[in-house]
Structure formats: structure tokens, C-alpha cells
Amino acid sequence: MRCDTIITGGTVVNANKTEKADVAIRGEKIAAVGKGLAKRVTGDGVRVIDAAGCYVIPGGVDVHVHLALPFCGTTSSDDYNSGTRAAARGGVTTVIDFAIPYGDDTLRQAVDNWTAKADGIACVDYAFHLAITNWDKQKKELSRMIELGIPTFKQFMIYEAEGWQSDDAAMFQALEAMRDLGGMLMVHAESSRVLDELIARHHNKKEMKQHGAYMHAITRPNFIEAEAIRRAVTWAEATGGKLYVVHMSTGEGADIIACARRHGAKNVFAETCAQYLALDDSVFKGKDGHLYATCPQVKKPADQARLWSALKDGTVCTIATDTCTFTRKQKAAWKGDWTKIPMGMPGLETMLPVVYSEGVLKKRLTMRQFVDKCCRAPAKIMGLGHRKGAIKRGLDADIAIIHPSKKIKVDWRKMETNADWSPYQGRSLAGFARTTLSRGRVVVDKYKFCGENGWGEFLPRKTPGQV
Ligand code: URP
Ligand code: ZN
Ligand code: ZN
């Protein structure tokens, strides 16, 4: 068998199978997976990667990132270069960002803007979802966008000030369109009017002085997310359109999704993010509490526990990061007022280590479930299962090799992200990629990035909403 690279002696973990096997790579694709391949390989200068004692898993697929996003009066500081370098170092080989129209932009213009951000500098493969910010103007473009390989759309139930918010009529009609066109609607589910009321009610000097960044948690009780999820699920059940709830952070949200699916709504899906599994809202009480502000915010330990069990029982199908990096300087814009904090955190470089360490090592997930939630399911549900998310002959050779127990202390100074802090600073985590391959090319070796600017390609996608 002719090949360019062979990964030998590792334990190959797919979502459906764990096996001791070699992986042969020809060009950008996986040529074979099996025992004893090393002996059968021919070809000049075959690169041999020794994975003895390590797991060999599909590259992570993070379907929720915001790179170079203009937001909260600034721009998120990981762009397509630092963001995808961070991804590679974390073993993530595919990212999906949200192209968002600004002002009167069409969906097409949003795609062009986001293509310009990524072109020539991305180091791993990428795709876009499209935000629908003006249903009446943008609805006519949906089928053309699907033809271009962008079959997933997003509506925000908050962010009126950004010009992004959609109302129920727009969501209802978008779900009908998803049903008719074979797309999938993603929603940021938080209840805007009650949230605005709670923020207004508590927006005073006395409480801000007393609670600091913890005001973010005080003004976003769990029902803010739960009510919005319930409403979006109602419209999905009524229309039959596919709905994917992004960054679900509450136990109540998990209960609503579980209930809907139990009652037959198999068109309803949910994602959670690593931060909701590994952090709780006590972080807002610390000295740098404002750094952790993100929407929705991290919740209570009880929510974490429910989200872990919802991953295990299949209610939550994917784990992502919602990476939206802001530096200390950017976050300092808050000056004691939580409503002025740029919302978002870095996450790409630590997603697999956090979920592996908190999930697999703490026996909340099996190794195969870890691969399912971080690799297979996100690829498949976003219409990328024909290329990503599994170590299988014919698929892209996107692979992460991780040591089962070697721990690395998280230190932002040694990371690829542009962030000058980390939500996990000082934590010792296993699950960092010793080696990462992107379409057959080694982009991380000995835990260090060694990839190439512009290597990452745009990925047109097929029908979403299948698991
Ligand atoms: O706080 C966050 N998550 N920032 C990014 C925008 C969003 O809501 O996903
Ligand atoms: Zn969001
Ligand atoms: Zn987001």
C-alpha cells in the first residue's frame, strides 16, 4: 500500500469503536485503518509517527467560534490566524464561525466579509454559519446560501443594540424555511425583554459596588435562558423546522430539550460549551471576575452536573467553545459596570483538554463519548460527516494524538491564542494534542504549532441536522 504518512501503535478511538490500529495517510486523506499496516506500507520517505501509548482521535470540530468579530464596541482579538493556530494546538482541526451581516449587508456580503477575514491566514479548515439579522430582507437569499454550502443559519433572541435581534415571527418563519429548504436554524436563546428589565432594575451604583461582576449572574437567572429555549422549541415543534440551541448553559434547558425529544421532536438539538461544564459562577466573585463574562454566563454546579448527564443520555449532542476572545485591556472597558464588559472568552486551545480532563478522567464521559461530542456529532450535525469527525478510510486525515495522562499546566503565555489570560490558567490538564494533523499535514508536533498560514480551506457543507 502506497502512503505518505503512517501513524503506528496507537489506540484509535472513533465514536463507535476503539481499536489498536495503525492509520495510513495518502495525500490529504485517510487511506487505511488497521492492524499491522506499517509492514505493508510502501513509498519513498514515508513519515512514521509513533503513537504508542497514545490515543489517536479525529481532529476536534468546534462548530461555534467568533474570530475577529466586531462586538460590544470592539473586535474579538483572536482572528483567523491566532484562532486557528490555537485550534490546532488544542487538537481542533475544523472551526465554524458565524458570518454576520452589519447594517444593510446582505447574506452574500456577510459571507464575503468573513471570507476576507479567513482567506490566506487560516491554519485549519473552516466553515461559516450565517446570521439572519433582518428576516424580511435576507429570506430570499437562503436557498442560494445553501447551494454555496452554507446550510445553517442563526438568529439571536437578544442583542438588540448590536442590530442582531430577531423576534418570534422571524424565528417562526425561518424555521418554516429550514423545513422547506433542508437547512437548520441555530438560536441564541435568552429572553430579551425580561433580561432588559432585570438589568435596568439592578443597574445602580450601590449594587454594582457591592457585587461587581457577579451582577452578570444576578441579572441572568436560569429562567432567562429556559423561557427562550421553551419558546424556540415550541416554534420548532409547530413548524417541523430543524432547531439547534447553541451554548446551552442551564439544567432547565437540558430538561426542556429532553422533554421535547421524548415527545417526538427529533428536529430539536442542543449544544453546550466547555466553560459551562468546567466553570461555575463563583468565578465572578474573584479578583478578575469580569474577564469571565460571556452570554449566557456560566451557571451553578447543579447546572454543570445536569449538562454532563445530558451529554451522556444524548439530550445534548455537541460540545463547542463559543470562542470570542477579549484581552484584559478590552475587558477593562467595564470600569465596574458589568453591562459594559465585552462578552466572550477564549476557548479553542483548551476545549479538548478541558473536556477530556473534566469528562473522561473524571468518568463523566467514556472516551468514545468524548470523541462523539467533540468530533463526530458536531461534524455530522453540521453537514461535514463526509469529510470530518472520524478516522475512517476516505475521510480527511484530520487527527489529534493525545497522551492519556500527561498533564500540562495551562499558561496563556505559552499558548497560541492572542488572549493575555485564560479561564483555566494554572489548571493541570491532560488531553492537549501532542501531534495534530490537518488534511494529512502535521500542524502540531511535540505540543508546538508547526503549521502554515493559509493551509486552512473553506468547507462547503451538506444537509445538516442529522446525528
Ligand atoms: O458572550 C458571547 N458568547 N459572545 C459571543 C456572541 C454570542 O452570543 O455567541
Ligand atoms: Zn450567543
Ligand atoms: Zn456565540
Q: Which three cell numbers stand for residue 320?
A: 463547542
CA of 246 to the centre of ligand 2 (A): 7
Give Cα 374 to chain centroid, integer Å: 9
pLDDT band for 430, please (50, 70, 90 cuts): very high
**Is residue 66 lining ligand 1, measured as CB closer than 6 Å?**
yes
3-state secondary structure 439-453: CCEEEEECCEECCCC
pLDDT at 42 over 90: no
Q: Whose CA is nearest to atom 4 of ligand 1?
A: 344
**With left for phi above 0 and alpha for psi between -120 and 50, is residue 80 left, alpha or beta?**
alpha
pTM above 0.95, yes or no: yes
pLDDT band for 379, please (50, 70, 90 cuts): very high
Instruction: Pick the atom of ligand 1 nearest to 246's CA.
Output: 9
Q: Which three cell numbers stand for residue 2?
A: 502506497
Closest of 92, 156, 151, 78 to residue 126, by C-alpha = 92
Q: What is the pLDDT, as a whole number, of residue 43?
A: 73
CATH number of 5-57+391-449: 2.30.40.10
In the numeric block, the cell 449566557 is attached to 296
**Is residue 324 lining ligand 1, measured as CB closer than 6 Å?**
yes
CA of 220 to the centre of ligand 1 (A): 14
CA of 77 to the centre of ligand 3 (A): 14
Instruction: Report d(CA 255, CA 226) in Å as an integer.
Output: 9
Closest of 418, 439, 272, 434 to residue 353, by C-alpha = 434
Q: Where are the alpha helices (DSSP H) in 34-81?
A: 37-40
Q: Which burial class, exposed, middle or buried, applies to 132 when counting CB atoms under 10 A from its CB (0-12, 13-18, 19+)?
A: buried
**Is residue 427 lining ligand 1, measured as CB closer than 6 Å?**
no
Instruction: Report d(CA 88, CA 247) in Å as an integer.
Output: 22
Q: What are phi and psi of 318, to 5 degrees?
A: -140, 155
Q: Where along the chain do the CATH 2.30.40.10 domains lie?
A: 5-57+391-449
CA of 161 to the centre of ligand 2 (A): 14
**Which ligand has an atom closest to residue 98 CA?**
3
Mean pLDDT over 26-45 rounds to: 92
Instruction: Report d(CA 366, CA 14) in Å as an integer.
Output: 12
Instruction: Report d(CA 290, CA 360) in Å as an integer.
Output: 29
**Is residue 151 lining ligand 1, measured as CB closer than 6 Å?**
no
Q: Where along the chain do the CATH 3.20.20.140 domains lie?
A: 60-381
Helix axes 192-202, 222-239, angle to 10 degrees: 170
Q: Whose CA is nearest to atom 3 of ligand 1?
A: 295
Q: Whose CA is nearest to atom 8 of ligand 1?
A: 295
* Strands 268-273 vs 318-320: parallel, antiparallel or unpaired: parallel
Out of 294, 323, 326, 341, give the residue to mutate to test ligand 1, the one with the largest number of ligand atoms within 8 Å of its CB.
294
Q: Which burial class, exposed, middle or buried, applies to 205 when counting CB atoms under 10 A from its CB (0-12, 13-18, 19+)?
A: exposed
Q: What angle do CA 55, 60, 62 make, to 5 degrees?
A: 160
| CATH match of 60-381 with 3.20.20.140 | yes
CA of 296 to the centre of ligand 3 (A): 9
Neighbours of 20 (CB within 10 A): 11
Q: Which three cell numbers stand for residue 317?
A: 449532542
Q: Give yes or no for a contact between 80 and 121, defined as CB atoms under 8 angstroms apart.
A: yes
* Strands 5-14 vs 17-26: parallel, antiparallel or unpaired: antiparallel
Measured over the CA atoms of residue 242, residue 145, residue 296 and residue 103, the dihedral's sign is: negative
Name the residues around ion ligand 2, CB cutoff 5 A.
188
**Is residue 76 lining ligand 1, measured as CB closer than 6 Å?**
no
Query: Could you say which DSSP state residue 185 is in?
Result: E
**Is residue 294 lining ligand 1, measured as CB closer than 6 Å?**
yes
Q: Where are the alpha helices (DSSP H) in 42-189?
A: 82-89, 107-118, 135-138, 142-147, 168-181
- Tens of pLDDT, residues 285-297: 999 999 999 999 9
Out of 330, 343, 348, give the residue to mutate to test ligand 1, the one with the largest number of ligand atoms within 8 Å of its CB.
343
CA of 265 to the centre of ligand 3 (A): 24
Query: Could you say which DSSP state residue 77 is in?
Result: S
- Tens of pLDDT, residues 147-183: 999 999 999 999 999 999 999 999 999 999 999 999 9
**Is residue 295 lining ligand 1, measured as CB closer than 6 Å?**
yes
pLDDT band for 23, please (50, 70, 90 cuts): very high
- Tens of pLDDT, residues 319-329: 999 999 999 99
Q: Which three cell numbers stand for residue 392?
A: 475512517
Q: What is the pLDDT, as a whole number, of residue 1?
A: 86
**Is residue 322 lining ligand 1, measured as CB closer than 6 Å?**
yes
Q: What are phi and psi of 357, to 5 degrees?
A: -70, -45
Instruction: Pick the atom of ligand 1 nearest to 159's CA.
Output: 8
Q: Give yes or no for a contact between 418 and 78, defined as CB atoms under 8 angstroms apart.
A: yes
pLDDT band for 418, please (50, 70, 90 cuts): very high
